[in-house]
Amino acid sequence: MSVQRKIIHIDCDCFFAAVEMRDNPAWRDIPLAVGGQPGQRGVISTCNYLARRYGVKSAMPSSLALRLCPELLIVPSDFARYRAASQAVHAIFQRFTSLIEPLSLDEAYLDVSGQPHCQGSASLMAAEIRDAIRSEVGITASAGIAPNKFLAKIASDWHKPDGQFLVRPEDVADFVRVLPVEKIWGVGEVTAAKLKQQGFHTCGDLQQLELLDMLRRFGKFGKNLYELARGIDHRAVHNDHERKSVSVEETYTRDLPDLAACRAELPALLQRLRDRLRRAGDPPFRGVNIKIKFADFSQTTVETVAQLLDEAVIDGLLATGFARGNRAVRLLGVGVRLQEAQRVPQQLQLFDITTNDNATG
């Protein structure tokens, strides 16, 4: 018999903002965001929970954030301090297991199966990790504990901020049955809307379909839906996966009608890409690319050799790609091709397809 996995997902709470509040105590009780200034077409990287009460969230234009919360203080990013805090957090992880899969500066999976700490209790280990992060790093973190990565990541968001939640093996069926389809790994805003149009609002709804029906309706993704809707996730925690590219993309609820509308979306996409590259340690790259999916679901990718994120170059790629279809656009993506293999978590895909506020917890 295989040993039941014990997976902990740790996610630091509003990480960039938390470091800023730690180092500037006067900012702890005011709405605070980290990002670019509105006059420079800036975008919010993350914000504290006070700002979130006003509707401020990651990837939002700073100008909109200030309209929602006029008292919002927006400060520039300081990735040297964020990396130092991240290294301290990851050093704490190492005390409990060597099997760690970092997802970003502030987030990681830990496989603590068979570890002797805390009499083998994953819940007690998670609590000790969170206590150490609070006392040694000066920020808070939330944790999810479950038999697999999919459920652990969902559980870490259950009692945010500064909390943890356990999904025991015997509770998986009841826990997953009522989960909204948006919680399924790989299901973004647009896919969720399509599922709901077909009457699938929860994982329990999807459980009514057999595997063949899932494959018929959703293609290859149907197998993932079938398993995850039942709380099944066989992915192991890896700490040595190779990445060849880093990209972000956005599927728009309303199609972008023309090239000018596409250009207006580029600053936000580029900011998300810059943030993602920084969270990955600013790896060197050798090419940049634009991905466009048109309203008729045809798509094209345009790439050129480059080692910098030059907005003029990327704008040129966008114009070239748009001319190939010359119709409304439902999805835009921008990315880089890395110079050499990088060690990164398996969770990161070719494109970051999430449209929810899930960055820097």
State the pairing for strand pair 141-146/164-166.
Answer: parallel
Distance CA 106, CA 85 (A): 9
Asked whether 73 and 30 are in contact (CB, 8 A), the reply is yes
The b/e string for 165-179 (b: 16+ C-beta within 10 A; e otherwise) is bbbeeeebeebbbeb
Q: What is the widest separation between alpha-carbon atoms in the chain?
A: 62
Instruction: Name the DSSP class of 308.
Output: S
Is residue 107 annotated as a catalytic residue, yes or no? Answer: yes
- Report helix, strand or coil for 147: coil
Strand blocks (E) in the chain: 7-12, 32-35, 44-47, 73-75, 100-104, 107-111, 141-146, 164-166, 241-256, 285-294, 299-305, 329-344
Distance of CA 337 to the CA centre of its chain: 19
Distance CA 151, CA 289 (A): 33
Backbone angles phi, psi at 59, to 5 degrees: 70, 5
Distance CA 171, CA 85 (A): 35
**Catalytic annotation, pick one of 20, 71, 101, 107:** 107
- Neighbouring C-beta atoms of residue 310, cutoff 10 Å: 12
Asked whether 285 and 338 are in contact (CB, 8 A), the reply is yes
Asked whether 331 and 85 are in contact (CB, 8 A), the reply is no
Quick one: tokens of 81?
Answer: 């301090």
- Report helix, strand or coil for 106: coil
DSSP string, 19-83: HHHHH-GGGTTS-EEEE--GGGT-BEEEE-HHHHTTT--TT-BHHHHHHH-TT-EEE---HHHHH
Active-site positions read 107
